[in-house]
A and B are shown apart, each in its own frame.
Chain A
Amino acid sequence: MCPSNQYQKVYVQGAAAISAFGMDWRGLGAAITANKITLSPARQLADSHGSVFGSEVAAIPAAIDVDARACKLMSYPARLNAVALRQVLYDTGWESARDEIAFYLGVGASGGSVAELTEMLRASIVDQTFTLDRFGTAGLAACNPLFAFQLMNNFTLCHGAIVHGIGGPNSAFYSRGNGTVAALSEAMHVVASGECGRALAGGADSALHPVTWAQLCRDGYVDQGFIPGEGAGLLALSRESTHALAELSRCEFHSAITLRAGAARLLSDIFQDFKPNVDDRVLFSAWGEPSREMLLHACNESGVSTVIDIAACLGDALAAAPALAWVAALDLVVTGNASRALVLNAGIDGGLGCVVLRRVV
């Protein structure tokens, strides 16, 4: 367990969410609560896998998109993150001294262009046989030299940081759930301890990349009810309570092994500590029925009758899933629909994340 920090209080100053709901985070929680976001056949998988229902981001408006030249070098999650960064910086008004802002991000698998991959394979495969001599002589020459490097996982963070000049302490955590909570935990720590005045944290990812989807199918997640999603979610943190949207009062994550050893007790402890009231909300982002049932059971045991299931609306956006859930929770807190929001995530990594946002009094 990674306990909450004991230093100064940490506040949320702004947020961003790029999701199937749209390019704005305000209204996301309400839309999910009202079941206004529906799954639809994923365009990105139509050519490769036919009709797969998922939660897909609509076309990004040119006014907020990264410019075409930068876009060409980015994986799709990197582009989503760059757009989310633009939005959160606008939301907070953080215009100055961006080189001091810390940035921690949950990132997913590599997500290069399938068209580039196809060209490389076409030059390397003859009669369904891949050979190193063809790859070495022709395959490598057939693709954009940056192909392999737009794939680097940390570039999801770095492209955005470059576009927007974010230069403080930073790390990219590989995430299929908990890595993104680790990112928020680090951001919370550097702010709470006074190491940084401001920090950004969240996740960006897509489960709708054909190779990622093929792997999720092969690994059995799809058979167990995995709904693909995508997006980017960011929270902006500082110790400044003026104009704060909410207080980030808890952030912790537990490994799959800890969970296997006693999920019921762990969840019971979390709820006992949270002590849900009638004007609090519990949101969860869990993949598959077993995780969903585990969280529902814990909610029932604690007397929580209504839970908001993020994955039912937004699918599982892998590294982005917890972050989108936090932002939805923030929306509920800000609009007065909740005094506090407890967000639980159980990603395909088997871990458990727990975040609490509290209305600023």
Chain B
Amino acid sequence: MTSGQRSLVGMSMLAAGLLLVLAAAGIAWSGVQRWLAVSETRDALEMLRRDRVADARKLAAKASARVPDEVAPALLALDTADLDAVERIEAIAARGTSRADRETAHAAMALARVAKGKAAGFDLEGSADGRLLAAMAAANAGRDPGRLKPVDGEAPPHLNVLRAAHTVLLRRAWQAGKVSEVRAHAGALLLLRPRAPEAPLMHLLVGAGSALLPDAEAIKLCEAVKQEQEAAIRAVAALLPQRRAAIAARWPKAVEGLP
């Protein structure tokens, strides 16, 4: 091999090596970005579980900027009150390869639309999401949502849809004075999130709404409610006339003026 040929081989190797190193660096960079995004998404979910919604959204937005084609961080970063932002999720969902991701995105978009009094906009027939959103829409329109009876073989509901539906239906049942429905929805919310800030109130509704719980125990549950305690206890006294005497003995103002 002549020195010219050796130089040619060397230069070719150097060029190929540089290309490979650049490719490796690119793969490594995208891998690290993905890893950071996964880590941030996981932290955002943990924050959501602790009701730090604003912090979770901020962190999820950071993760979404790292992996713009991924549905999970984009959904976590989403402000559902902003319908334009909700519509943008559709484009990300369309790019998503996972069917579960697409279904989650569609459920989130449908929930945001129904919460704003609009049509769901997706065919969610055969899924629990569709059934729950229809009940929510009926409740919001002042119609009877009927009972939330599960249907065999339907796709399970998404967590946010389930929570939103139970919350809306609980509010409606409370306004209508339907104690058994209030207990059922409060029980579902309590089992879903037993450590949520509103859990003590759900516990109170489930307990005080049961004729089997003694008044003294119901009062203990009232004492455990910390969020807007006075208003909550007054609302419970209004819903449950049979508990009024016990509540009046401890919080006389809470029952003042109730019929």
A and B bind = no
Q: Tell me the A residues contacting B by CB distance below 8 Å.
A: none
